[in-house]
């Protein structure tokens, strides 16, 4: 019986010839991630074990959620992370000014390669499946134990095969694809399963689209999302990953719980209404919804391609006088590239607030909190009640194209309404 991509990676990392859905196993790890919120409690658990870190090169610590620190409590949390990194000489500690949003930073820094196993004390660790890695979020206790052992346990997930066909229409991006899928299957439609993407339509997707799609696999309840390697993947890895790696592909007779076909040609820009990512509607049916804020950034949509889409819409336009627009490049390198390409000038001229890299408003941390009754269109990944501020605020999830157009129009809007 054949294996899926996820099963092949777990078989290799557990020293087995084959595995199948439901198997329990212990896997070797290639990288362990924690941030300024999840790192301190993981460190507490690690220190109870009384052993050194298993490999100072295979732990990544990124203070990105409340950093630059917004208050004394966040400063204490970041200090805990910083002190631990210094004590154990952690190679991949990323300080303010050199850091970025973790799930954009680590792939760009070459810390993720095909065929690897990565765990992180953050649910959106599944982002790295875009590079053909098995990446998933785990609890802080698991990360603490893994930092000492270099291993963790898995139940091998069953898989859903998602076949992409056709070509992408203009202004339809990865965010529209994954929101459409979540709208189809629901926020628990892939619970503890692997979303395995395949099909000729993959060639239509930029790497930024693939990162966005895998990032939000967790919003369908998935254990992970994963893409095969193609020329675009290899181009992204060139100059970033210098170590040897082994890409995996699914066997022709791999077993799936079910199969989904997405015809890209038929997709339209969509928006997820409050208060679940599955509450998906076409933008064309949503243009009467007035907004107060637009946020473009996060680990989901803060990459250079995302900023390019926002700049395309905002060029020569102004943010609506009743709207606050906040744009957050995901890393320092992306920020710098955006400056060189003129995007930052375009944003500021349009009346946008541009921030240093931070998760900030995505989790209701800071840099864009909503008041009672306010609405935001956001390129972030979750729109649960109270996610970005007051429990009676509302968050609508959309692509950078839609978020930027909405910022200009003062209501949910499609890019065609602004780009003439």
Where are the domains positioned within the chain? 5-263, 272-417
Enumerate residues 6+ apart whose C-beta is below 8 A from 5.
Answer: 132, 134, 194, 196, 226, 228, 248, 249, 250
Contact 376, 393 (CB under 8 A): yes
Element (H, E) at 26: strand 24-28
The greatest distance separating any two alpha carbons of the chain, rounded to the nearest whole angstrom, comes to 63
- The H or E element spanning position 19 is none
CA distances to 289, 290, 346, 372, 395 from 406, rounded to whole Å, are 10, 9, 16, 20, 13
pLDDT in tens, the chain (420 residues): 799 999 999 999 999 999 999 999 999 999 999 999 999 999 999 999 999 999 999 999 999 999 899 899 999 999 999 999 999 999 999 999 998 999 999 999 999 999 999 999 999 999 999 999 999 999 999 999 999 999 999 999 999 999 999 999 999 999 999 999 999 999 999 999 999 999 999 999 999 999 999 999 999 999 999 999 999 999 999 999 999 999 999 999 999 999 999 999 999 999 999 999 999 999 999 999 999 999 999 999 999 999 999 999 999 999 999 999 999 999 999 999 999 999 999 999 999 999 999 999 999 999 999 999 999 999 999 999 899 999 999 999 999 999 999 999 999 999 999 997
For domain 272-417, the CATH architecture is 2-Layer Sandwich (3.30)
Distance CA 73, CA 88 (A): 23
Q: What is the pLDDT of residue 358?
A: 94
H, E, C per residue of 291-342: CCEEEECHHHHCCHHHHHHHHHHHCCCCCCCCCEEEECCCEHHHHHHHHHCC
Domains 5-263 and 272-417 share a fold: yes
CA–CA separation, 153 vs 206, rounded Å?
A: 33
Q: Are 329 and 101 in contact (CB under 8 A)?
A: no
Task: Report the side by side order of strands in the sheet with 117-120.
Answer: 92-93, 59-62, 31-35, 117-120, 134-137
| 5-263 CATH fold | Aconitase; domain 3 (3.30.499)
Helix axes 39-49, 72-87, angle to 10 degrees: 40
């Amino acid at each position: 019986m054949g294996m899926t991509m996820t099963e092949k990676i777990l078989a290799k990392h557990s020293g087995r010839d084959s595995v199948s859905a439901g198997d329990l196993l212990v896997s070797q790890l290639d990288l362990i991630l924690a941030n300024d919120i999840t790192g301190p409690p993981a460190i507490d658990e690690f220190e109870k074990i009384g052993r050194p870190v298993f490999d100072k090169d295979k732990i990544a610590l990124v203070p990105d959620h409340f950093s630059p620190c917004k208050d004394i409590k966040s400063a204490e949390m970041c200090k805990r992370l910083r002190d631990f990194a210094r004590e154990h000489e952690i190679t991949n500690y990323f300080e303010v000014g050199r850091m970025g949003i973790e799930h954009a930073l680590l792939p760009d820094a070459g810390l993720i390669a095909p065929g690897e196993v990565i765990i992180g004390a953050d649910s959106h660790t599944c982002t790295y499946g875009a590079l053909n890695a098995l990446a998933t979020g785990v609890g802080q206790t698991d990360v603490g134990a893994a930092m000492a052992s270099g291993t963790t346990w898995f139940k091998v997930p069953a898989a859903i095969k998602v076949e992409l066909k056709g070509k992408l229409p203009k202004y339809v991006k990865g965010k529209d694809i994954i929101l459409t899928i979540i709208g189809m299957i629901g926020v628990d439609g892939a619970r503890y399963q692997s979303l395995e993407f395949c099909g000729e339509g993959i060639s239509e997707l930029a790497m930024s689209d693939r990162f966005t799609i895998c990032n939000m696999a967790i919003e369908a309840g998935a254990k992970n999302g994963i893409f095969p390697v193609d020329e675009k993947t290899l181009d992204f890895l060139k100059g970033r990953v210098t170590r040897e790696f082994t890409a995996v592909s699914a066997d022709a007779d791999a077993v799936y719980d079910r199969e989904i076909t997405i015809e890209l040609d038929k997709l339209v820009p969509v928006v997820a209404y409050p208060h679940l990512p599955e509450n998906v509607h076409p933008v064309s049916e949503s243009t009467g919804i007035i907004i107060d804020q637009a946020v473009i950034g996060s680990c989901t949509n803060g990459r250079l391609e995302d900023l390019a889409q926002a700049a395309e819409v905002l060029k020569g336009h102004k943010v609506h006088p009743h709207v606050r627009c906040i744009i957050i490049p995901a890393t320092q390198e992306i920020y710098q590239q955006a400056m060189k390409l003129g995007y930052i000038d375009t944003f500021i001229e349009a009346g946008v607030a541009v921030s240093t890299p931070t998760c900030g408003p995505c989790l209701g941390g800071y840099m864009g909190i909503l008041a009672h009754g306010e609405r935001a269109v956001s390129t972030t990944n979750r729109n649960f009640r109270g996610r970005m501020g007051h429990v009676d605020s509302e968050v609508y999830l959309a692509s950078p194209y839609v978020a930027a157009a909405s910022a200009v129009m003062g209501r949910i809007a499609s890019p065609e309404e602004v780009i003439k």
